Amino acid sequence: MTQICLIRHGQTDWNKAGRLQGQTDIPLNEAGRKQAWECRDHLSGDDWDLMITTSLNRARETGEIINEKMNLPIEIMDEFMERGFGEGEGLTREERRASYEGFDFPGMESEEDLNDRIMAGLSTILQCYPGKRILLVSHGGVIAAILRLFHLDAQQEVKLFNGCINHLHYLEDSWQVRGYNVIDHLSSTGA
């Protein structure tokens, strides 16, 4: 059975301010590093085979911190990079509401393209790492899309905390969510 522990990257200053990050490369802040350390301490007691992260700094740094105790091989897979939000990136919630109707921005990656990218990444994992236990540090929009693909109603609002843990298992020829938005290892959600 292939198992993926999906971890949302630690907090950034843009998360704290409610700015939409998308593919803008924003680093972790101090609270985000603390969340990554707490994830590291929580996950280091288990056996893992591989760390996957995206090339965006906030995910890569979270993965590197988690991997300090595990010394796993690290692979960059941008199939799990955050959704591109086009002109919505960098805007606060209030600015988005004032300038755009709904959650649709010029230049935004379509939901279909995002889902295709995610499915391609999961297919690569199954092909290259069958039966492995994988830590995958990704982004809120990507993890929410995965939850909608395999667990939640497509219209259900998903609020994922920075540093949350989500479990995805490949059983009986399908992906199954075995827990999501787990935060009991965090001393603060930063919310």
- Beta strands 133-138 and 2-8 are parallel
Separation between Cα atoms, residue 72 and residue 48, nearest integer Å: 8
The runs of H, that is alpha helices, within 22-169 are: 30-43, 57-66, 93-99, 111-128, 140-150
Check if 169 is active-site. Answer: no
Catalytic residue among 38, 79, 82, 89: 82
Angle at 141 between CA 7 and CA 52, to 5 degrees: 35
Catalytic residue among 9, 79, 89, 109: 9
Q: Are 180 and 161 in contact (CB under 8 A)?
A: no
Check if 82 is active-site. Answer: yes
Q: Which residues are catalytic?
A: 9, 82
